[in-house]
Amino acid sequence: MAKVAAINSDRAWVSGAGPTGCLAALALVKAGWQVILHDSSTSAELCSRSRAYALTNSSKKLLEQLDLWGELSPRCQAFKTLLLSDKSTAKTVRFWQNNQELGWIINHPALMDFLLAKCQQHQAIQMRLGEASSGINSDIQLTVLAEGPNSSGRKALGIGFYGWPYRQGCLTVQVELQQGNSHNETAWELFRPEGPLAVLPLGDGHAQVVWSAPLQQCRQRAALAAPALLEKLSQVLPSQIRPIAILDKPGAFAVEWRLAPKLVQGKVLLCGESAHRCHPVGGQGLNLCWRDVSTLLQEAKRQRQRGTGLALLLARYQQRRWFDLLSTMVATDALVRLFSNQQPLLRWFRSRVLELLKASGLLRKFSLKLASGAWTN
């Protein structure tokens, strides 16, 4: 792509070139900014993480607005059915909507390779990867921190990151499923007493497993030899899902609920997991981060069209993000606590809720809309 001179003098520094940082950079240039995208990791290091993400309709809409979805969608595996199962009540609810896609699964390396290539091709983005930060240029009007939960920029500003660690940790591993049981268009969310377990289709009979359990158990299972881990998985997965091979190195990590008390300080904006972190149940994490980017895109465009100042952009970004952040994070926390608790009254309540969902198509449709983030737009 031929590079042409940018006409806008507004310059932003985006710190962090993961999925959220790259998308924030692309959103800002879409709104007419010039961007420096910095990360101390190299492009190879940024692409090396082995995991997959679930994308909802809110993320699809953002990617469409950035003219990215048409090229990215072939790299995704769509799913049209979601099976939600509660082991304690032995109830399962099937979510399905007129053969329409409910979501999409994409591997981290494929996503990062695509986003980094788009950033490198754009004439208004200057890439600084694999470099130690030498300080932000004096002509920078806006700094976006998309550095993840351990954001050094947030810490340097003295902004807290409040919340709590969950008793549960999370194990992630990709598996090959027995032929005939691949369920390429079906995702599973299994609620077990030790925590939720998701099985996400990757296509070609492969799947991403996201298994929540006490952190020490997750670490012990991640250290098992492949045959032993396959045996453990076979013991907890439904009979329709039979893993036959481990495809990557299992990983185990702690799970936290964290939220910064403010999203803006001076000319610095917190985005993605630099500002918040929630339980992976329901695959809300990346989608919530990208809704930060969606709001940033909308407000940057509004600033450009109306000629308003940066202060208003930052104020509106912070004001508009709170409701979605709090409602989504409270909902995921409540979901984990409700389905992990074995008190008889809560088990009875879960059973009634699942019976209602099973009986009411309208309630299932409404639940899908809430989970997809479509109501936030």
Q: Can you give the pLDDT at residue 365?
A: 85
Q: Are 69 and 135 in the same domain?
A: yes
For residue 1, is it within any domain? Answer: no
pLDDT per position as a tens digit, 323-345: 999 999 999 999 888 888 888 88
Q: Are 155 and 53 in the same domain?
A: yes
Beta-carbon count within 10 A of 138 CB: 5
What is the average pLDDT across 8-25?
A: 93
Judged against a pLDDT cut of 90, whether residue 28 lies above it is answered with yes
For residue 137, is it within any domain? Answer: yes
Q: Are 120 and 63 in the same domain?
A: yes
Q: Can you give the pLDDT at residue 179?
A: 76
Q: Can you give the pLDDT at residue 3?
A: 40
Q: Can you give the pLDDT at residue 95?
A: 92
Whether pTM exceeds 0.85: yes
Q: Can you give the pLDDT at residue 181?
A: 53
Q: Are 264 and 319 in the same domain?
A: yes
Q: Are 180 and 288 in the same domain?
A: no
Containing domain of residue 203, as a range?
167-255
- What's CA 306's distance to the chain center, in Å? 32
Q: Can you give the pLDDT at residue 375?
A: 54
Judged against a pLDDT cut of 60, whether residue 8 lies above it is answered with no
For residue 83, is it within any domain? Answer: no
In this structure, are strands 195-203 and 206-214 parallel, antiparallel, or unpaired? antiparallel
Last residue of a domain, one of 255, 270, 294: 255
What is the average pLDDT across 248-277?
A: 96
Q: Can you give the pLDDT at residue 1?
A: 39
Q: Are 308 and 352 in the same domain?
A: yes
CATH classification of the domain holding 181: 3.30.9.10
For residue 177, is it within any domain? Answer: yes
Mean pLDDT of the chain: 91
What is the average pLDDT across 24-48?
A: 97
Judged against a pLDDT cut of 50, whether residue 296 lies above it is answered with yes
Integer Cα distance of 80 and 273 in angstroms: 28
Integer Cα distance of 28 and 119 in angstroms: 11
Q: Which two tokens stand for residue 37?
A: 């995208």
The one-letter amino acid at 356: L
pLDDT per position as a tens digit, 164-176: 999 889 999 999 9
- Phi/psi for 133 (5° steps) reads -70, 130
Q: Say how many domains are in the chain.
A: 2
Query: The tokens 């991403």 sit on which residue?
Result: 208
**55 or 374, which is more confident:** 55
Q: Are 179 and 313 in the same domain?
A: no
**36-40, 178-182, 342-346: segment of lowest average pLDDT:** 178-182
What is the average pLDDT across 280-284?
A: 88
Confidence category of residue 239, pLDDT binned at 50, 70, 90: confident
Q: Can you give the pLDDT at residue 4?
A: 37
- The answer to whether the CB of 53 falls within 8 A of the CB of 33 is no
Q: Can you give the pLDDT at residue 347?
A: 86
Q: Where are the alpha helices (DSSP H) in 223-309?
A: 226-236, 285-306
Confidence category of residue 240, pLDDT binned at 50, 70, 90: confident
For residue 347, is it within any domain? Answer: yes
- The answer to whether the CB of 12 falls within 8 A of the CB of 34 is yes
